[in-house]
Amino acid sequence: MTKRKIKKIVSMSITIVLSVTLLFMIFVVISSKASGGEPNFLGYQLKTVLSGSMEPTFSTGAVIAVKPLVNTENLQKGDVITFLKSHNEIVTHRISEVVKQGGNVMYQTKGDNNEEADTNMVPSMNVIGKYTGMTIPFLGYFIEFAQSNKGTAMLLIIPGVLLLIYSGVTIWRALKEIEQPANKKDVKETA
């Protein structure tokens, strides 16, 4: 493979990586802003793990995929669910017991890393979704940063600026290559 082909492959690879990064950043920022904080992807809610209560299943700072549920009354012992604990607190814990009282279903939950079960039972209507088993370690730190004002600005501006700089360098190199053959013609004609 010639040097020129290698340079072309490297150049295309860098362009693709920068473009995909920029598009991903735009997606994360817009998705998180539109959903009120947590991004959604292909019908799954992406939740950031903020505590170590479910270690080793998933660690603090990870992002987990949660499938929103229509019927929240048919969950079973051992399922990992995300639920509304209080007005603005969302928790993801494992069901340790299913309790049916009349027409109501309640879940006793416990974090895998906690010694005691949660103090309050979870009504089925408070269940948001079920953990799908997909975890991306450390991505939560990135999403939290992306949701801040500084993070939003940096994650949109930096990849865009890098892409513009790289495009400028590519155009400058292309112009330089066009000028070189023209200079060689001038030298041959005068000799």
> Active-site residues: which are they?
51
Angstrom distance (rounded) from CA 140 to CA 129: 18
Angstrom distance (rounded) from CA 17 to CA 28: 16
CA distances from 135 to 62, 143, 175 (A): 7, 14, 46
Residue-wise burial string across 123-132, b where 16 or more C-beta atoms lie within 10 A, e elsewhere: ebebbbbbbe
Are the beta carbons of 58 and 64 closer than 8 angstroms? yes
Residue 120's SS3 state is: coil
Q: Please, which residues bridge with residue 82 across strands?
A: 92, 129
Question: Sign of torsion, CA 23 26 29 34?
Answer: negative
DSSP code string of 24-55: HHHHHHHHHHHTTSS-EETTEEEEE--SSTTT
Non-local (6+) Cβ contacts of 164 within 8 A are: none
